[in-house]
């Protein structure tokens, strides 16, 4: 009896678990089916909107066409307009194109040779015509008795100089032709209008069916004759786990048990409805429930055989422990190898940074050393000529360049220590005068004409005196290097001002820049390897210095050379 009670208890618990699995799986499947259905609704709406997009734009194009404007003004005959509309309708693939005068009377159409031609008819009472007269895009849909077709109408008023329009262009698109281009889909899809009439669908049996028991409004009877509208298939609505379920009679094109989703499409003024078959969702839930029962039965069998397999399980655990121990040893060995490789990479990074710093220091100190050399050479000549006052001036200039080297080393040391450089107000005229003085001797040696007119009034900008002077000297030096083989050697230095900014322009008459987009990249240079100042760091460093001032350094090619522009913030 005890065994029987245990068996019955296990059976009841298993049945309850299987029922819970079925309910949970069915609800999850319905949720997944709902998400998939919303995606299908969005895709169907986008597909229909994409098909109608060209038809919606066609009236906007035709309203400006000379033939359309001409037939409304009397300059083009009705025969020519009809012929033009026929060719346009065949080319675009629309059902019909109409031209109405300002009173809404059809004066030209593409189907003028058909028995059901609309020539001479007054369509001013149509909803889409009224919208076009009021200045909007006319849009409507209806059922045509003469060809038993469903059509979308798009209309736009033809404006001459001012409102009201002198005429209306109407484009009629066949819904059946749009549906013919759809791929075959097992899911039933319908588009219902505001009167619950199915106007667009992928099932011909549902065309012009109405899912409502209320009486048709007068406006609906004008669009759809009462004898053409049929009732929708009979169904019983229910709620399952919060999902709307429609139960239909067997034999209809709609699934017997369908999850129905609806979404209003404002741009179409239609409501899209999707009827998703829940048969697969229920089948998958049943399969999971049976699998749960099978799993519970397997668990029961495992519990019975657990005592007999305990020793075998212990042996297996010992084997796994040995395997885990071996794996941990391998992981520790691999970790040690990775740590060694990481230390080597760090050392390589240090060596790379040391090389870049050495190149930068060489470039930064090279300019003041060159200036000291020039001043010393000039001092020797001045001593030979017994011009001692000028010798004293040169010695003071040499002292200034030594101080500049000290400041450069201080800046580099501050950079290495990650210290913040001070940016203050400086007089740009003083900076430019010092920079010109540094390159004056080289300009004379290279026979280069300097065009620079100093300002009489101070110009204050945000920056640092030494670093800004360094940038100007570097730009002028690059300009001198660029004019080595030039016929005309003119270096221009000028200043432009506005309310908030000051721009320093350095222009040369050299060969120009080979690749202006890369000149500020580190180690990019067009000079010979090993040449003086040919490490490719000058412009990169200058770009960083100007950026630290809150300014911008840019360049461009001119017809006769290159131009570098230093833009700085102006200080009152």
HEC secondary structure over 99-132? EEECCCEEEEECCCCCCCCCCCCECCCCHHHHHH
Sorting pLDDT into bands at 50, 70 and 90, what band is 342? low
Q: For residue 363, what pLDDT is reported?
A: 59
pLDDT tens readout for residues 452-464: 988 888 999 988 8
How many whole angstroms separate alpha carbon 97 and alpha carbon 554?
A: 58
Encoding tokens for residue 173?
Answer: 């698109």
How many whole angstroms separate alpha carbon 121 and alpha carbon 85?
A: 17
Does 533 reside within a domain? yes
Q: For residue 358, what pLDDT is reported?
A: 54
Cis peptide before 164 (omega within 30 of 0): yes
User: What percent of the chain clears pLDDT 70, i.e. is strictly above it?
Assistant: 91
> Do residues 495 and 428 make contact, with C-beta atoms less than 8 angstroms apart?
yes
Does 551 reside within a domain? yes
CA 27 to chain centre: 37
Q: Compute the average pLDDT of residues 534-549.
A: 78
Q: For residue 364, what pLDDT is reported?
A: 60
Q: For residue 25, what pLDDT is reported?
A: 87
Alpha helices in 134-270 (DSSP H): 175-180, 218-223
Top pLDDT among 457 and 356 is at 457
Q: Average per-residue pLDDT in the chain?
A: 83
Q: For residue 377, what pLDDT is reported?
A: 86
Residues 6+ apart with CB under 8 A from 166: 72, 73, 101, 102, 158, 159, 160
Sorting pLDDT into bands at 50, 70 and 90, what band is 239? confident
Helix H or strand E segment including 163:
none
Q: For residue 516, what pLDDT is reported?
A: 83
pLDDT tens readout for residues 46-105: 988 888 888 889 998 998 899 999 998 889 899 999 999 999 999 888 889 999 998 889
E-strand ranges in 350-469 read 424-427, 449-451, 460-463
pLDDT tens readout for residues 389-402: 888 888 888 888 88
Residue 415 has pLDDT above 50, yes or no: no
pLDDT tens readout for residues 120-169: 889 888 888 999 888 888 988 888 877 778 889 999 999 877 778 889 99
pLDDT tens readout for residues 474-512: 899 888 988 888 888 899 999 998 888 999 999 999 888
Q: Compute the average pLDDT of residues 426-446.
A: 88
Q: For residue 534, what pLDDT is reported?
A: 52
Encoding tokens for residue 319?
Answer: 């084997």
Q: Compute the average pLDDT of residues 317-326.
A: 89
Domain count, the chain: 1
Does 151 reside within a domain? no
Does 165 reside within a domain? no
Residue numbers of the domain that contains 452: 421-569
Does 296 reside within a domain? no
Sorting pLDDT into bands at 50, 70 and 90, what band is 237? confident
Does 67 reside within a domain? no
Sorting pLDDT into bands at 50, 70 and 90, what band is 388? confident
CA geometry: angle at 179 spanning 176 and 184, to 5°?
A: 140
Interaxial angle between packed helices 2-62 and 279-305, expressed in degrees from 0 to 180 and rounded to the nearest 10: 150
Q: For residue 292, what pLDDT is reported?
A: 86
- Weakest-pLDDT range from 115-129, 308-322, 417-431, 448-462: 417-431
Does 197 reside within a domain? no
- Assign residue 503 the CATH number of its domain: 3.30.565.10
Alpha helices in 507-554 (DSSP H): 538-548
- Tell me phi and psi for residue 233, to 5 degrees: -60, 140
Among 477, 470, 475, 476, residue whose Cα is nearest residue 405: 470
Does 428 reside within a domain? yes
Residues 6+ apart with CB under 8 A from 284: 25, 29
Q: Residue 507's beta-bridge partner residues? A: 492, 563
pTM of the model: 0.48
Q: For residue 564, what pLDDT is reported?
A: 93
């Amino acid at each position: 009896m005890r065994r029987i009670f245990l068996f019955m208890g296990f059976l009841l618990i298993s049945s309850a678990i299987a029922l819970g699995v079925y309910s949970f799986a069915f609800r999850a499947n319905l949720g997944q089916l709902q998400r998939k259905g919303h995606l299908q609704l969005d895709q169907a709406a986008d597909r229909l909107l994409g098909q109608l997009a060209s038809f919606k734009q066609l009236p906007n194009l035709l309203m400006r066409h000379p033939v359309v404007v001409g037939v409304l003004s009397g300059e083009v005959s009705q025969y020519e307009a009809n012929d033009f509309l026929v060719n346009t309708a065949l080319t675009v693939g629309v059902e019909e194109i109409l031209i109405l005068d300002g009173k809404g009377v059809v004066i030209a159409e593409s189907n003028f040779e058909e028995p059901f031609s609309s020539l001479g008819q007054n369509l001013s009472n149509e909803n889409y015509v009224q919208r076009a007269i009021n200045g909007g895009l006319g849009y409507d849909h209806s059922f045509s008795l003469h060809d038993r077709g469903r059509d979308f109408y798009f209309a736009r008023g033809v404006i001459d100089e001012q409102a009201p329009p002198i005429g209306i262009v109407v484009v009629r698109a066949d819904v059946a032709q749009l549906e013919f281009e759809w791929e075959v889909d097992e899911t039933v899809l319908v588009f219902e209008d505001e009167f619950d009439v199915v106007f667009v669908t992928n099932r011909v049996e549902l065309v012009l069916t109405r899912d409502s028991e209320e009486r048709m409004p007068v406006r609906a009877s004008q669009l759809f004759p009462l004898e053409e509208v049929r009732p929708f298939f009979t169904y019983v609505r229910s709620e399952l786990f919060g999902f709307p379920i429609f139960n239909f009679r067997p034999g209809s094109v709609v699934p017997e048990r369908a999850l129905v989703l609806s979404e209003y499409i404002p741009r179409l003024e239609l409501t899209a409805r999707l009827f998703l078959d829940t048969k697969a969702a229920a089948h998958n839930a049943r399969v999971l429930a049976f699998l749960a029962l099978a799993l519970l039965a397997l668990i029961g069998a495992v519990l019975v055989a657990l005592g007999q397999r305990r020793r075998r399980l212990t042996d297996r655990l010992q084997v796994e422990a040995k395997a885990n121990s071996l794996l941990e040893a391998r992981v520790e060995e691999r970790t040690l190898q990775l740590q060694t490789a990481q230390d080597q990479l760090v050392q390589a990074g240090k060596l790379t940074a040391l090389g870049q710093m050495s190149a930068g220091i060489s470039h930064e100190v090279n300019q003041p050393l060159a200036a000291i050399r020039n001043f010393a050479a000039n001092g020797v000549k001045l001593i030979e000529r017994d011009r001692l006052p000028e010798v004293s001036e040169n010695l003071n200039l040499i002292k200034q360049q030594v101080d500049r080297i000290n400041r450069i080393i201080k800046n580099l040391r501050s950079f290495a220590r990650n210290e913040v450089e001070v940016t203050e107000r400086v007089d740009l005229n003083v900076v430019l005068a010092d920079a010109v003085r540094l390159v004056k001797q080289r300009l004379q040696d290279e026979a280069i004409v300097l065009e620079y007119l100093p300002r009489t009034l101070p110009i204050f900008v945000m920056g640092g005196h030494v670093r800004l002077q360094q940038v100007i000297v570097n730009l002028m030096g690059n300009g001198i290097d660029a004019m080595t083989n030039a016929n005309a050697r003119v270096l221009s230095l000028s200043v432009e001002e506005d309310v908030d900014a000051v721009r320093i322009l350095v222009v040369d008459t050299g060969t120009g820049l080979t690749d202006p987009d890369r000149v500020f990249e580190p180690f990019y240079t067009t000079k010979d390897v090993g040449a003086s100042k040919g490490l490719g760091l000058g412009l990169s460093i200058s770009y960083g210095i100007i950026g630290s001032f809150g300014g911008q350094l840019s360049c461009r090619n001119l017809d006769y050379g290159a131009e570098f522009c230093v833009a700085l913030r102006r200080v009152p």
